[in-house]
């Protein structure tokens, strides 16, 4: 509770008693017992960064710095290769860990009569959120991807998003709801699910959180100009080779052709929705 200093309060009482001019609004204010709703300004603050992270606000981009805040629709961050960032939501509601090559943008950030509504757009990449339980029944946090909407009210969960919009969701604690095409799937603690654009979410299955990749094919194509890779991983994982994101089907299968580098080596990185990573250094034989 805010407590006015005694000297200031005494001065205010003295001025009120000695004043010969009384505002006609004063009696109404004095007699009103209606509660006043304090509207707090909301923000998402950059707590820490590693590597090349871009801060976007008012349509302008600049190098991100700890302490900068995202406060309105359209504000966001973009993480580069091998970069990451940690964000905080208001004062203690939760934290967001943003992985490399991820774009996060505010879609809605509102305080409506004490209900905190937070909607974040993720068009590609991986994030993990740790959110305390929200006491107001109208408060919620939603992650919007091109394939669906993930909603929570207090949990530890992660989201991975492919360029096609395919979205993987894994819940470590609490409960998450994944919605797409008017179908809602509950993802309880230690379960996971995924959704492909323009389709309903798959039923929740037990959490795997394993970035392992099974490589089934590695062959040189096009007179040594390209290399073909085919294999399989958990269907919620995010696979990348350099700046290239590998699309996987609903079962986690992939088949991709990428340019062959001069040193005939490249790194395949696999990331689970909860942020667990595994890097595979591959060398193409002559």
Architecture category of domain 213-283 in CATH:
Sandwich (2.60)
The answer to whether residue 286 scores a pLDDT higher than 70 is yes
Averaged pLDDT for residues 201-229: 94
Beta bridge partners of 54: 63, 78
The class (CATH top level) of 44-206 is mainly beta
Q: What angle do CA 136, 141, 143 make, to 5 degrees?
A: 165
pTM: 0.82
Buried b (16+ CB within 10 A) or exposed e, 248-280: beeebebebebebeeeeebebbbbbbbbbeeeb
Q: Where do the CATH 2.60.120.1440 domains begin and end in the chain?
A: 44-206
Instruction: Answer positive or negative: Cα dihedral of 259, 261, 262, 266.
Output: negative
- Do residues 159 and 169 make contact, with C-beta atoms less than 8 angstroms apart? yes
Q: Is 174 left (phi over 0), alpha (psi -120 to 50) or beta?
A: left
* pLDDT tens sequence across 36-68: 444 468 899 999 999 999 999 998 999 999 999
6-15, 63-72, 172-181: the lowest-pLDDT one:
6-15
Buried b (16+ CB within 10 A) or exposed e, 216-234: eeeeeeeeeeebebebbbb
Q: Which of 194, 157, 188, 161 is closest to 175 using CA atoms?
A: 188
Decide: helix, strand or coil at residue 21. coil
The answer to whether residue 2 scores a pLDDT higher than 80 is no
Strands 226-233 and 213-221: antiparallel
Q: Where do the CATH 2.60.40.10 domains begin and end in the chain?
A: 213-283
Greatest Cα pair distance in the chain: 98
The answer to whether residue 190 scores a pLDDT higher than 80 is yes
What's the DSSP call for residue 151?
A: E
Averaged pLDDT for residues 237-255: 94
Averaged pLDDT for residues 81-108: 94
The answer to whether residue 75 scores a pLDDT higher than 80 is yes
Per-residue pLDDT band at 203 (split at 50, 70, 90)? very high
* pLDDT tens sequence across 102-149: 999 999 998 888 888 899 999 999 999 999 888 888 888 999 999 999
Alpha-carbon distance 282 to 93, whole Å? Answer: 42
Between residues 127 and 26, which one has the greater pLDDT?
127
* pLDDT tens sequence across 249-268: 999 999 999 999 889 999 99
- Do residues 192 and 205 make contact, with C-beta atoms less than 8 angstroms apart? yes
C-alpha distance from residue 87 to each of 60, 170, 265, 276 (Å) = 20, 20, 34, 18
Residue 242 pLDDT = 87
């Amino acid at each position: 509770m805010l407590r006015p200093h005694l000297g200031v309060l005494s001065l205010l009482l003295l001025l009120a008693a000695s004043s010969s001019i009384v505002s006609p609004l004063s009696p109404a204010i004095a007699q009103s017992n209606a509660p006043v709703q304090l509207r707090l300004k909301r923000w998402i603050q950059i707590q820490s960064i590693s590597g090349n992270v871009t801060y976007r606000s008012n349509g302008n981009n600049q190098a991100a710095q700890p302490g900068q805040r995202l406060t309105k629709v359209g504000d966001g961050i973009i993480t580069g290769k091998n970069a990451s960032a940690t964000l905080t939501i208001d004062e203690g509601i939760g934290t967001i860990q943003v992985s490399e090559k991820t774009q996060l943008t505010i879609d809605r950030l509102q305080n409506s009569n004490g209900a905190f509504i937070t909607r974040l757009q993720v068009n590609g990449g991986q994030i993990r959120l740790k959110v305390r339980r929200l006491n107001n029944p109208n408060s919620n946090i939603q992650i919007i991807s091109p394939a669906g909407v993930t909603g929570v009210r207090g949990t530890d969960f992660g989201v991975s998003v492919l360029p096609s919009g395919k979205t993987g969701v894994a819940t470590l604690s609490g409960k998450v709801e994944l919605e797409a095409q008017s179908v809602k799937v509950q993802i309880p603690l230690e379960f996971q699910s995924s959704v492909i654009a323009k389709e309903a979410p798959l039923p929740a299955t037990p959490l795997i959180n394993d970035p392992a990749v099974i490589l089934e094919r590695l062959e040189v194509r096009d007179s040594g100009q390209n290399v073909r890779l085919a294999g399989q991983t958990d269907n919620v994982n995010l696979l990348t080779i350099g700046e290239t994101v590998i699309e996987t089907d609903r079962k986690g299968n992939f088949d991709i052709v990428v340019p062959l580098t001069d040193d005939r080596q490249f790194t395949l990185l696999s990331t689970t929705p909860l942020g667990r990573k595994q890097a595979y250094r591959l060398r193409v034989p002559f």
